[in-house]
Chain A
Amino acid sequence: MENFTPVSALIGGGLIGLASGLYLLLNGRIAGISGIVGGLLTSSKGSTPMIERLVFLIGLIVGPLVLMTGTSIEAQSVVTSPLPIVIAAGLLVGIGTTIGSGCTSGHGICGLSRFSLRSLVATLSFMIAGFLTVLVTRHLMGVA
């Protein structure tokens, strides 16, 4: 449990919750990252203007940039998987979130916050799949 960071997790989680809540209250939209990105990849309808989607995603990168340059808070983003696995994982995440209409933010944070049974089922589905995948890769195959 030496990696457990409850305080920064709660504070960071609170910021994510605040961002999601404000986005719905002020702009009337669900802060589901896969949905926001997906809307940029299609030409059809969608009532959220492209520019609003785009600046939200720019913000996702600006947030960490501001913190890493302007504060002493440190973070890293370590990928240990070999390239073919990275590619397969990217495709699975892209296809899965499209078929399942959402990801950790849209179903997990926003869906559960509005008491959506559909989002609860989706959240359980991807959490269980995540647990099982790590069981296979780390414990049965012994990689990463």
Chain B
Amino acid sequence: MTAWNDSAGGKRVSAILKSRPFLTLAIVAAVWIVASFVSRGFGAYGHLRYLVELGAVIGLVAAGQTFVVIAGGIDLSVAAIVTVSAISLPLLSWQADTTGLVSVLAVLALTTAIGVVNGLGVALLRVHPMIMTLAMATFLQGLLIIIAGGSAVTAENPLVHWLGNARPAGIPAGIILWIAVSAIVLTVMHATPFGARIFAMGANPLAASLSGVPITSTTLAVYGISGFTAGLAGVLVLGMNGQGYVGIGDPYLLASIAAVVLGGTSILGGLGTYAGTIPGAVLLVTITALITVVNASPGWRSILFGSLILGLLLLSGREQARR
């Protein structure tokens, strides 16, 4: 980090080259180049664009997860929240709402509220984040079956349909949404007092509290953001799929955590950036796509996926020894 204090431009460049986000980006580029030589059609513009579009869902879920992890917590309820969002959206629609905007906002309010409840449990009841969010996931899982009754629901919401299928200027709307969210997240994280408080809280909650960081409201905000972005991802995945069903969000739990860690954010909190999570999310969908190309049985696919994540962790996810 000393390189940042030197005004010499060369040192700044070398610091960027050595940083975790850049390393993850380099891995993505290397995998794409190798894969496009090995498998014809992988490197086509349309295919890569599709990969990034899929990555947008993971990237959105992982945005909230990055906030939570940097603040020293973890959110294991994101998969359930994605499902809640995708299933409750068709239920929360009104005839008068022709654009579908109101029901999307209602769903986002609902998922944000779920996140805030997580935050209340962590901050006020002092339940460990892992227990609080796992219990929330269990709770939501039961609730979802009651609401949806196990059948798939179809969305007839113009806004959601546009989000999942439209391509203004050739770029899928999902990617545009992701770019917008990324810009906001990076600004909030690195250029606002709120962002600084999150890093302080994750590095040392006691010191942060003594220095005047409002721990309770910051925790509520962080889990609320996670609920919000998971809800947004649910809306997007509903638009892309056209249908919502119980279990639609399940793949995004491991994916969101893996994207955060592969991007160089410390799972212990206090260290990291969303700039690493973005290539981390793209890397994950790339791995999934490669495994699909290999055409193996579900068992082998699962083994390959786990092993590749583990191997990539060795490259970029190691914790520095804190001795």
Q: Do A and B come from one complex?
A: no
Question: Which A residues fall within an 8 A CB radius of B?
Answer: none
